[in-house]
Amino acid sequence: MNKKTLLALFLVFFISLPAFAETLPYKEFIFKPSSLPSPHAASMAELPDGELFVVWYGATPGSKYAAIWGARKPAGSDKWTSPEVIYSTPGHSNKNPVLYFDENKKLWLFWAEERRVYKLVKDTIMVKTSADLGRTWDAPRKLGKLAWFLPKNHPIKLKEGPIVLPIYTDLHTSSAVAISKDGGLTWEGPRYIMFFFGLQPTIIQRSDSSLFALMRTGMPPRLAWQSTSRDLGYNWWGWGFSDVKNPGTALEMLKLKNGHVVLVSNDSKTDKTGITIALSYDEGRTWPRRRVIEFKAGTVSTYPSVIQTKDGLIHVVYSYVNRTAIAHFVTDEKWIEEGQGG
């Protein structure tokens, strides 16, 4: 093979590479740390062309009220677009945004709008949709009869068709779901997972069609609550503590394309310093492999959220180091499997 042929082969290979590639795992920031006030509770979606879209909430400069922010990372790019406000309400805070991209290529944004009722904080779940991948949105509307509730984790589309949205309320510290059987046009709920116990549920559907939920704990022994539903989320039982350590912070599960499940959380009973990703081969019953993806002593990093993109990679976004930034961590299952045992 002569030099010209080798050079031609090299050029073909080089040109065929994606415009941007990182060695796994890698971490980056959606925007420069400390450039925005108190960013928190991020959620991510992958759009059809591979673009990543991330939303979070935080105050706007010069205002005490929180707005919903967003940024994009175009496919093949190594840069995020400048953050911009997606939604705000003068005189009221908006928080806990959650993204969902449905099978009809419609992008959904769920969030909670906060209003004051005497001395109580009343949260109402709001929703708006976009037919052009989040560049324009329809008018926001209330989601069913879900006053006093908030979203936190991604909804899931069940094999049987319904969409199940995990929700919770701080009013009486309870976890629930809202259920839509018509593609999101109407919603039933709340259908309680646990009343007076558990917050911010995260849900997967197991191979036997049952639903499995883990919930943030607020009491000793500092283990996440768990529960199961065998009727697509309408009724829940088997309440109790799981084996998942939880210091009273948010966590999220995701069922991968191969049936394995990942869990991102603060894997401790007391420490909110680090974020860990764990892997289950038995649909959340045990977590034999885990790895730390964030640790900085003396700080707090919380509220992780996870998706798997079409290329099989696992993406985690979370509130970084005392809410100074939104971090984005990318890895694959192999890297998690090389971690320590549970």
Determine contact, residues 277/253, Cβ cutoff 8 Å. no
Q: Give the model confidence (pLDDT) of 14-58 as tens digits.
A: 333 344 457 999 999 999 999 999 999 999 999 999 999 999 999
Examine residue 221 and say whether the peptide bond preceding it is cis (omega within 30 degrees of 0): yes
> pTM of the entire structure?
0.92
Q: Give the model confidence (pLDDT) of 270-314 as tens digits.
A: 999 999 999 999 999 999 999 999 999 999 999 999 999 999 999
Distance CA 213, CA 299 (A): 28
- For residue 252, CA distances in Å to 42, 93, 160, 190 come to 12, 24, 22, 20
**282-292 CB burial, b ≥16 within 10 A, e <16:** ebbeebebbbe
CB-CB neighbours of 265 under 10 Å: 27
Q: Give the model confidence (pLDDT) of 63-75 as tens digits.
A: 889 999 999 999 9
Determine contact, residues 43/57, Cβ cutoff 8 Å. no
Report which of 254, 240, 283 is spatially closest to residue 45, judged by C-alpha positions: 254
DSSP 32: -
